[in-house]
Amino acid sequence: MKTVDPAVFMQINDRLCRFFLSFDNRDWPAMVECLAPQIAVDYSSSGREQPTTMSGHAFVSRRQNAVDRLAKHHSFSNLLITGGVDERVVSARCNYLILRFDPAGSDENFFHSCGSYEFGFEDMEGDWRIASIKQNTLRSWGNASLHGGSSPNKA
């Protein structure tokens, strides 16, 4: 396992913080800034999208069009970043917890998920961008109907 420079680690950590926060705040322009022009996406473990490659803008459009009214909180931990053969490419792995609540405050209306993400990053002229995303859902619980596209088998 090839470790990365601490400055690269901090840049990747910052990029992931901004990426997850853009979901919570529905800040679509900020999300675009986190992504490479083309990204490989795999959300198949949650029963959502099958693996595909799309533009960063298309990824954001899909998220924007799937907006629900839930209040969201994304968090991640255990970030591990490893360098690749090419110094302009790194891999990152982290655990995640996504809390989703009905903004009306109903205790019954929530849908939470946990698992891990695998990210690929590319250095684009000194700016690390997400070039691939793979979500590995461990478990989801709550009212799956609140979250469009989630597989009822995972809840």
Query: How many helices (H) and strands (E) are present in the chain, helices listed first?
Result: 3, 6
**Tokens for 94?**
């982290």
pLDDT of residue 112: 93
- Asked if the structure places residue 152 within a domain, the reply is no
- Neighbouring CB atoms inside 10 A of 88's CB total 12
Rounded to whole angstroms, what are the CA distances from 54 to 41, 42, 70, 105?
8, 11, 26, 36
- Asked if the structure places residue 1 within a domain, the reply is no
- Asked if the structure places residue 151 within a domain, the reply is no
Residue range 22-50, pLDDT digits in tens: 999 999 999 999 999 999 999 999 777 78
Q: Is the pTM of this model over 0.85?
A: yes
- Asked if the structure places residue 81 within a domain, the reply is yes
- Asked if the structure places residue 154 within a domain, the reply is no
CB 144 within 8 A of CB 152: yes
- In this prediction, residues 120-143 reach a mean pLDDT of 95
- Asked if the structure places residue 153 within a domain, the reply is no
Residue range 73-100, pLDDT digits in tens: 999 999 999 998 888 999 999 999 999 9
> What range defines the domain where residue 82 resides?
6-146
CATH of the domain at 138: 3.10.450.50
The Cα 63–Cα 55 span in angstroms is: 13
CB 145 within 8 A of CB 40: no
- Asked if the structure places residue 113 within a domain, the reply is yes
Number of structural domains found in the chain: 1
Torsion over CA of 70, 76, 82 and 85, rounded to 10 degrees? 10
- Asked if the structure places residue 70 within a domain, the reply is yes
Sequence-ordered strand ranges (E) for the chain: 35-42, 52-55, 71-83, 89-101, 111-124, 127-142
